[in-house]
Copies of this chain bind each other. A is one copy, B any other.
Amino acid sequence: MFKIIEDGNVATPAGFTAGAAAACIKYPDRLDVAVVVSRVPAVTAGVFTRNVVRSAAVQVSERRVAGGIARAVIANSGCANACTGNKGIQDAEAVAQMAAARFGIPAEEVLVASTGVIGTFLPLERIENSVAGLSLDTDGGSKFAHAIMTTDTRPKEIAISFTCAGTTVHIGAAAKGSGMIHPDMGTMLCFVTTDACVDAAFLQAALRRSADSTLNMVSVDGDTSPSDTLVILANGIAGNPLLDETNGADFEAGLHYVLKYMAKQIAADGEGATKLIEVTVAGAVTEADARVAARTVAASPLVKTAIHGADPNWGRIVCAVGRSGAQMDASLCGLSLNGVPVMANGMPLPFDEDEMRESLSSPEVTLCIDLGLGTAGATGWGCDLSREYVTINASYTT
């Protein structure tokens, strides 16, 4: 149904161009300012962090997304512009103004995003100089994905094409993740573009629903960032009939596909991660229970270290569910690791430890918990906890 476009990215949908530049925000000679522009005004929607501490960029972009129309995003890495008060807000607006001036767009139609160290101010002059020399083209999407990386080890980008109400449309996306990832509204940063023609209210609703079962089910370390931002720009250039709740199911499925891909990419490339952990909870009384149980397991340091060591210490998984707040009766609970049952009705089952260790050594590990109480379920993603995570985060600001 969905065709994945080779080397696809945010500039793949019709009418979008992108580019990046080096402003030496934290490191010399590294792309750290990224811009994507639609050549016509686009319908926009967004979801943002629920952390009470909100970066200046989140505050500015959320207000602009509420206006319903946007034409560009300018994002930077190296500085989160959070805990920076009113000056931070002014700085974020100034950065939007720089992009607006450079590319001839109303400043109110430029969204901003920042990621990096908290409690430092943006180097406005260096950013202005970099934007002045920044050019956009349809090949610039890959640069965009590189420029928003912090401790990510690889860029995260995708584009798909599919048929929607008889017309071929595209969705492209770029994201970053790595650390302080336990999204409660979007993810660290994820930018989605599409040439589909979409109703604004439907776009917002579809984005929220898709985020809740994808990016909002990722945890790297349980820490929710003040910068979490997911925005989409839909410029309508594909020329399909306007999509809304009555005819938008295909579009929403495509959006979900893209965001699920990004969720797994972000989890697999968590700081120091060597393995992707997929946690499925079934048999819950409510979906909320299933979600909180899956997220608690995916975020548990003891589960994450055991998986890192390929240690079949499954009691930790059950105990994480037990403290998650989900309704649970341990005596009804079942658990399997990579498809091998290790617990049924709350009691241990025999399994071959050597085979299990080998199975847990693979780069993807699946944990399935059946609460045995109801019919609701959810899936979440996380990664293992390695010594490298500690090394990365013991000296992040330096």
A301: contacting residue among B119, B120, B393, B398, CB under 8 A: B393
Determine which of B51, B180, B346 lies in contact with A83 in the assembled complex, contact meaning CB atoms within 8 Å.
Answer: B346
Binds B, one of A156-164, A243-251, A319-327: A319-327
Residue of B nearest to A179 (CB): B302
CA distance A52 to B322 in the complex (A): 5
CA separation between A305 and B385, bound complex, in Å? 12
Q: How far is the CA of A389 from the CA of B52 in the complex (A)?
A: 30
Which residue of A221, A311, A315, A345 has the most chain B CB atoms within 10 A of its CB atom? A315
A85 at the interface (CB under 8 A from B): yes
- Asked if residues B319 and A224 are in contact (CB atoms below 8 Å), the reply is yes
Distance A348 CA – B119 CA, assembled complex (angstroms)? 6
Judged by a CB distance under 8 angstroms, whether A386 is at the interface is yes
Of B119, B184, B305, B391, which is within 8 A of A314 by CB? B119
Are the C-beta atoms of A348 and B120 separated by less than 8 Å? yes
Inter-chain CA distance A321–B392, complex, in Å, is: 22
Interchain CB contact (< 8 A) of A85 among B53, B315, B346? B346
Q: Quick one: closest B residue to A391, CB to CB?
A: B387
Q: Is the CB of A118 within 8 A of B390?
A: no
Please, which residues of chain B bring their CB within 8 A of the CB of A226?
319, 322
Q: Are A83 and B330 in contact (CB under 8 A)?
A: yes
Residue of B223, B309, B319, B342 touching A323 (CB-CB under 8 A): B223
Contact of A345 among B85, B313, B343 (CB under 8 A): B85
Q: What are the residues of chain B within 8 A of A135 when measuring CB–CB?
A: none
Of the candidates B80, B117, B302, which one forms a contact with A223 in the assembled complex, judged by CB atoms under 8 Å apart? B302
Partner of A180, one of B119, B184, B222, B302: B302
Q: Which residues of B contact A51 (CB under 8 A)?
A: 319, 322-323
Q: Known interface pairs A313-B117, A397-B313. Does A223 touch B53 (Cβ–Cβ under 8 Å)?
A: no
**Is the Cβ of A223 less than 8 Å from the Cβ of B319?**
yes
Q: How far is the CB of A126 from chain B (nearest CB, A)?
A: 19
Contacts of A386 in B (CB 8 A): 390
Known: A85-B346, A395-B311, A396-B313. A328 touches B222 (CB 8 A): no
Provided the pairs A52-B322, A331-B85 are in contact, do residues A301 and B221 lie with their beta carbons within 8 angstroms?
yes
Pick from B300, B302, B306, B390: contact of A305, CB under 8 Å: B390
The residue in A222, A306, A342 that gathers the most chain B C-beta atoms within 10 A of its C-beta is A222
Given A184-B323, A305-B393, A306-B397: 4 more A-B contacts, CB < 8 Å: A52-B328, A118-B318, A306-B393, A312-B397
Which of the listed residues A329, A345, A393 has the most CB atoms from chain B within 10 Å of its own CB? A393
Q: A398 touching B311 by the CB < 8 A rule?
A: yes
Known: A53-B321, A118-B315. A390 touches B348 (CB 8 A): no
Chain B CB count within 10 A is highest, among A342, A346, A391, A392, for A346
A38-60 to B contact mask, C-beta < 8 Å, 1/0: 00000000000011111000000
Cross-chain contact A390 with B387 (CB below 8 angstroms): yes
Known: A393-B306, A394-B309. A319 touches B387 (CB 8 A): no
Decide if A359 is an interface residue (CB 8 Å cutoff): no
